[in-house]
Structure 1
Amino acid sequence: MKIRFPSHKNQTLIFKSHHSEKTIPRTVQCCASTFDLKGKSVAVIGLGKSGRAATKLALARGASVIAIDQNENLSLLELNPLFEKHGHLKTVLGHFDTKLLKDADMVVVSPGVPLESHGLSFLLQSMLSHLGIEVFVGGNLGIPLSEAAIQCLTCPSPKPVFQVAVVEVSSYQLEVPNKHFCPSVAVVLNLTSDHLERHKTMKNYAITKCRLLSHMTNSKLGILPFGNKLLNEAMEELVNEVNLAWIGAFPGVKVDKEEKVASLRVPAIGVVSELKLGALNVMGTHNYYNAAVAALSVLGLDMGIDTEAISSTIEKLRVPPHRMQIVHKDSYGVTWIDDSKATNVEATYTGLLGLKEQKSVILLGGLAKVSNSQESNGFEQLVEPLKYHRCVITFGFSGPLIQKTLSDDGLSIPCFEAANLEDAVNCARSVARYGDAVVLSPGCASFDEFRNFEHRGKVFQELVFSSE
C-alpha cells in the first residue's frame, strides 16, 4: 500500500498492508513460561519503581539478578520482604564494576525519567473499561509493565488477566535497541522540545520516538501527528510494514470542532466511520482529538468492537483531573476551567489553540521554567492565540516577568497583574462576562505557592466555589 502525505505531493512512503479479513478477538499474552530464565544472569540498572518490578519479574522467571543503582542511600533489595525469599539476588549500590554488565546474559535499563500523560491513556482505560474489557494501564506512567507480566505469569486461571495493555513508553527506553517490542497499535501524539539535554537534537528525538513502530507489521496500526517533517523523515528510515494513520488528516482522524464530530478514515484496516463527541464533558480541541485517537486505537486492536459500541462510552468519559477540566458554570453564566496540569508554555499553547471559539479570561503564572541557556521564557509564543480572548491575568512569582514578556511582544488584549492565585480568581470574577470562560492554564510550575499542580488545581476549584 502506498501512503502519501497529503501536504507533500512529492513525498511518498511505501508500506505493506496485511489487514486480516477475519476479526479475531485478541488478548494480552505473556510469551514467557515460568522459569524460562533459569540458569541465566540478569543485570537490572536503576532501582526505581520500574527497576524493582523488572527485578521481581526476572526472579519469578528463574534468573539470578544483580540489581544496580548509583544511589548509595537505597536499601538492599535482599532486606526487602518482597524480595527476601529469593536467594539469587544481589544488590550493588554506588560505584560498580562494568564487568558485572559484561558477564550478564541480559541487561535491563530503567527508563530514568518521569513521563507526563497527555490524558490519552486515561481515556483509553475509561473507554475500554466501559466496554467490559480487562485493561492494564501503566508502563513508564504509574504501574510498571513488569508488574502486569508477573500477574500474567503467576495467574492460576486460564482466563487472561488482561485483554489489553495500554503502555506509556519513555523515549529513554526507546534509545535501547530491542527485537521484541511490537505493539498492536502505537501512538505518537506530538514532538516537542522536551528532553533535548538527552537527545541533543530534534531529529534524534524524532528518530527515537518512531522506534516505537520499528517492529510493527501486518495489520498493526501506527498513529502520528500530521505535518511534522522530522517525524515523517524518521518514519522513512525506521518503518517497513505498518498501516499509518494521521492525527489531523486522512487516512486517519479529523475533528469538526463546530459540529463536535470525529471522522475516522483508515480503509486499510476497515475503518470508515464517524463518532459524535458532543457528550464529552471537556473543553479544548485537543481533548476532542484525544478522544478520537483513543477511539481509533480501540478500533485498531481488531477485537470486534465497532464505532457504535464506542459511541456508547463517550458521555461516560472524563478527562483526568486538572486537564481542561470543567469545574463549574456559575450563576453569572461563566464557565470555570481547571488546566493546572499545564506546567509549561507548550501545554498552555496547546490548550489555547483549542479555545479560539470560547472567549476566555486566561490565568497565567506560578514559577516559570526558565534555564540559564534560554534567551527567552517562551511566553511570547502565547501572544497570537491570546488575541481571541477577553484578557490575561498573571499571578505568582513569575507574574511580572510574564506580563512584561507579553507586553513587549505586542499583546493586543488587556493584561492584569495579581499577587497570587486567590487574587487572580477574584480579579477574573470581576472582569468575566456572561458566556465567558475563566481558564487556569498557568504555563508554569506551581512551587511558588503550592506543593504540586494537583494542589494548585484543588485550591483553584475551592476558590471557584467559595463565593457561590
Structure 2
Amino acid sequence: MSNIAHTYYPQSGRLVILGAGESGVGAAILGKDKGFDVFVSDMGTISEKYLNMLQEEGIAFESGQHTEDLIVNADLIVKSPGIPEKAPLIKQLRGMGKPIISEIEFAAQYTDAKLFCITGSNGKTTTTLLTYHVLKQGGLNVGLAGNIGNSFALQVAREQHDSYVLEISSFMLDDMYHFRADVAVILNITPDHLDRYDYKMENYVASKFRMVQNQRAEDYFIYCQDDAETVAALDKHPTAAQYLPFTQEGELSIGAFVDADKNLNILVPNREAFTMNIEELSLQGRHNVYNNSAAGLVAKVQELRNQTMKESMGSFVNVEHRLEHVACIGGVNYINDSKATNVNSVWYALESFSTEIVLIMGGVDKGNDYEMLRDLVKSKVKAIICIGKDTGRIHEAFEDDTDVIVNSASMSDAVQIASHLAKKGDTVLLSPACASFDWFKNYEDRGEQFKDAVMHL
C-alpha cells in the first residue's frame, strides 16, 4: 500500500523530467526502474555529478534548452520545484492537459513507508534534521529527503526504508495532489516567496496547508498553536487527522507545552508522557523549543522511549550555516547564520541571544519589511555592518534604532570591523536577511567566507 491510495498517474509510457538537479535525476532513475521511457530536460547547465549519473544509467537528456517536440509527447511530467507555474512551457503543458507533478508525488506511489512531512517558513531544515536524528537514534530504519539529503525518488528506487522524514517546501506542495502524510507538521507561516503566489498571503497559506490534504483519521497533524497564520487557517483547511498542537503560551492536555518550571511536556493519547527541561536541549533559544516540540511529538507518535528521546534531543548538532558556532575569540562568540535569507529567520536568530550583538547583514533585498526586527535591534544590536551592494534600505530601516551602521567592502572587511566593535561577552552574528548572489555564489559560500575570515582574525 503506497502513500498515494490509488494510482492516479500513468504507470508506463513517456516520462519527461524538467530540471536535472537532485530531485529530477532521482525521479528519472526511479522512472527508469519502473519501466518508463525517460527523458530529462534542463534549461541550464547540468552539473557534473548529475551528468555522470544520467550517463551511467543510460537516460536520455538535454541541457541548455527545452526541445518542445521531445516534451509535449509526455504521458507524465515531473517538474523541478524551482520552475514557476508562469513559465510559458508549463502554461502550454497545462493547456494540453498533461499531468505535471512533483518528485515527492511521483515517488510516493512506489513506497508504503511511513512519511513524516515537515513544512514551515522557518526552522524546517533544523526540525527535519532533528526529527531524523531522534528517530534514527530510536532504532528506526529511516531515510532523510525532500529539500534536504538525497532525492526521495532515488531512495525509493535503490534503498529500502520503513519511514522517511521529508522537508517539504511550498513549491513542492504546489505539485502534490494525492500524496498523503502519515504525520504532517506545519511549524509556522510567515510571508515568504509571495512573488510565486500573486503577492497574496492566503495563496501561500493554502499552499502550506496542502500538507494535510488526504490525511486520514489514523494520521497526525502537528502545528504551532502560537502561530497566528496557522491557527487562522485551521477552519479553512480541515483534515481528518488527529490534531497535536504545540505552544509556549500555556498548558495543554494534548500536544506539547512548556510549564512554569521550564519543562517541555509532550502528551500524546495512549503514549507515555514525556518531560525534559528546556535547558537540557542541545538547541537553545525560544524558536528551538518549538522545533524540539514538533520533533518530540513525531517521536512520541512513534512510541519512542523517553530515555532515547532525551539523549537524542540533548545531543543533536545543528545544520551548517544555521546559527552555527564558529569560534570564541577574545571572549566574543562568532555565529554563522548565513542560511537566514529572510527577515523572519533573522528575528529568530536575534531572539536566540541574550548578549549584545554586532549584526552583519545585507545582500540582495527581496523587498524585505524590516519593521518586525525593530524592537529586537533596539534592545540587542549595538552595531550593524552591511554587506552586499544594496545597503540603502538597511540604513533607512535602522538608523534610529542602533548607534552604529557601517558599510563594508568584503566579508573579511566586515568581520574585521565587527571584531573591533565587539567587546568581551558580545556576539558577532552573520544573519543577512537577504539573498547572497551579489557578492557570493550562494548562502553556503557566504557562510564559508565568514568562517574563513573569523579564523584569520
TM-score (ref. length: structure 2): 0.76
Q: How far is the alpha carbon of 1:292 from its aligned partner?
A: 2.8
Give 1:53's aligned residue.
26
Which residue does 2:221 correspond to in 1?
A: 222
Displacement of 1:144 in angstroms is 1.8
Match of 2:101? none
Choose the corresponding residue for 2:130, options 123, 133, 136.
Answer: 123
- Alpha-carbon distance, 1:120 to partner: 1.5
Cα 1:281–1:334, aligned 2, differ >3 Å: closer, same or farther? Answer: farther
Mapped to 1, the partners of 2:229 and 2:155 lie a distance apart of: 34
Q: Provide the residue aligned with 2:210 in structure 1.
A: 211
Structure 1 residue identity aligned to 2:267: R
Structure 1 pair 98–164 and aligned structure 2 pair: CA distance change class (3 A): closer
Asked if the contact 1:363/1:441 (under 8 Å) is kept, the reply is yes
Change (3 A) 1:443 1:122: same
User: How far does residue 166 in structure 1 lie from its aligned partner after superposition?
Assistant: 0.8
Match of 2:57 in 1: 83
Unpaired stretches in structure 1, ≥5 consecutive residues: 1-28, 153-160
Residue 295 of structure 2 corresponds to which residue in structure 1?
Answer: 294
Give the secondary-structure state (helix, strand or coil) at the position aligned to 2:55.
coil
Residue 248 of structure 1, CA deviation: 1.9
Tell me the CA shift for residue 30 of structure 1.
6.2
Aligned residue among 386, 391, 395 for 2:382? 391
Counterpart selection for 1:415 from 396, 404, 415? 404
The answer to whether residue 395 in structure 2 is matched with residue 404 in structure 1 is yes
Q: Find 1:254's aligned residue among 242, 257, 274.
A: 257
Matched with 1:132 is 139
Aligned to 1:369: 365
Any conservation in 2 of the 1:365–1:402 contact (CA below 8 Å)?
no
Find 1:67's aligned residue among 39, 58, 82. Answer: 39
- Contact 2:364–2:437, Cα closer than 8 Å, also in 1: no
Cα gap change, 1:227 to 1:42, in 2 (>3 Å): farther
When residues 404 and 217 of structure 1 are mapped into structure 2, their CA distance, relative to the original with a 3 A threshold, is same
Alignment check: 8 A CA contact 2:296 2:309 kept:
yes
Using the TM superposition, give the Cα deviation of residue 418 of structure 1 relative to its aligned residue in structure 2, in angstroms: 4.3
The code of the aligned residue for 1:167 comes to L
Secondary structure, counterpart of 2:265 in structure 1: strand
Q: Deviations 1:292-330 (Å, cap 9, x if unpaired)?
A: 321221222x2x312221101133211101211222334
- Say if 1:110 and 1:460 are closer, same or farther in 2 by CA, change over 3 A: closer
What SS does structure 1 have at the residue aligned with 2:56?
A: coil
| Residue identity in the other structure for 1:57 | L
- Code of the residue aligned with 2:81 in structure 1: it is P
Q: 1:428 to 1:278 in 2, by over 3 A?
A: same
Q: TM-score, length-normalised on structure 1? A: 0.74
Report % sequence identity.
Answer: 25
How far apart, in 1, do the equivalents of 2:422 and 2:396 lie? 23
Amino acid at match of 2:126: G
Distance 1:72 1:334 in 2: 43
Quote the RMSD (CA, aligned, Å): 3.6
Deviation string, structure 1 residues 379-399 (Cα, Å, up to 9, x no partner): 343211112215022232357
The whole-number CA distance in structure 1 between the counterparts of 2:340 and 2:434 is 7
Paired letter, 1:188 = I
Q: Secondary structure at 1:384's aligned position in 2? A: helix
* AA aligned opposite 1:112: G
Query: Contact conserved, 2:14 with 2:37, CA < 8 A, in 1?
Result: yes
C-alpha separation in 2, matches of 1:463 and 1:77: 34
Cα displacement string for residues 426-463 of structure 1 (whole angstroms, at most 9, x for unaligned residues) = 33333434433222212233344433322332333343
Distance 1:68 1:462 in 2: 38
The question of whether the paired residues in 2 share the 8 Å contact of 1:363 and 1:439 is answered with yes
Q: Which amino acid aligns with 1:196?
A: L
Mean alpha-carbon deviation: is it higher for 221-230 or for 204-213? 221-230
Pair 271,380 (structure 1): closer, same or farther in 2 beyond 3 Å:
same
Select between 108-117 and 221-230 the one with higher mean Cα deviation. Answer: 108-117
Greater shift, 206-215 or 284-293, is seen at: 284-293
Instruction: Give 1:438's aligned residue.
Output: 428
The answer to whether the 8 Å contact 2:363/2:391 transfers is no
Matched residue of 1:427: which SS?
helix
The residue that corresponds to 1:4 in the other structure is: none
Structure 2 alignment gaps of length 5 or more: 85-118
Instruction: Say if 2:338 and 2:443, in contact at 8 Å, map to a contact too.
Output: yes
How far apart, CA to CA, are the structure 2 residues paired with 1:83 and 1:299?
40
Tell me, in whole angstroms, the C-alpha distance in 2 between the residues paired with 1:315 and 1:369: 36
Alpha-carbon distance in 2 for matches of 1:39, 1:390: 57
**What is the rounded CA distance, in whole Å, between the counterparts of 1:346 and 1:293 in structure 2?**
19
Paired position in structure 1 for 2:192: 194
2:244 — aligned with what? 245
Amino acid at match of 1:56: I
Structure 1 residues 362 and 41: CA distance shift in structure 2, 3 A: same
**Alpha-carbon separation, structure 2, partners of 1:461 and 1:78:** 32
Distance in 1 (alpha carbons) for counterparts of 2:231 and 2:362? 36
* Distance change in 2, residues 1:430/1:206 (3 Å): same
What residue in structure 2 maps to residue 265 of structure 1?
267
Check conservation: 1:282, 1:324, Cα contact below 8 A: no
User: In the alignment, what sits opposite 1:311?
Assistant: 310
Larger displacement relative to structure 2 (387-396 or 92-101): 92-101
Instruction: Please state how far the C-alpha of 1:241 moved relative to its aligned partner.
Output: 1.3
Residue type of the partner of 2:197?
A: H
> Which has more helix, going by share of residues?
2
Q: C-alpha separation between the residues in 2 aligned to 1:423 and 1:38?
A: 56
After TM superposition, give the deviation of residue 136 of structure 1 in Å.
0.9
Matched to 1:129, the amino acid is K
May I ask how many residue pairs the two structures share in their alignment? Answer: 405
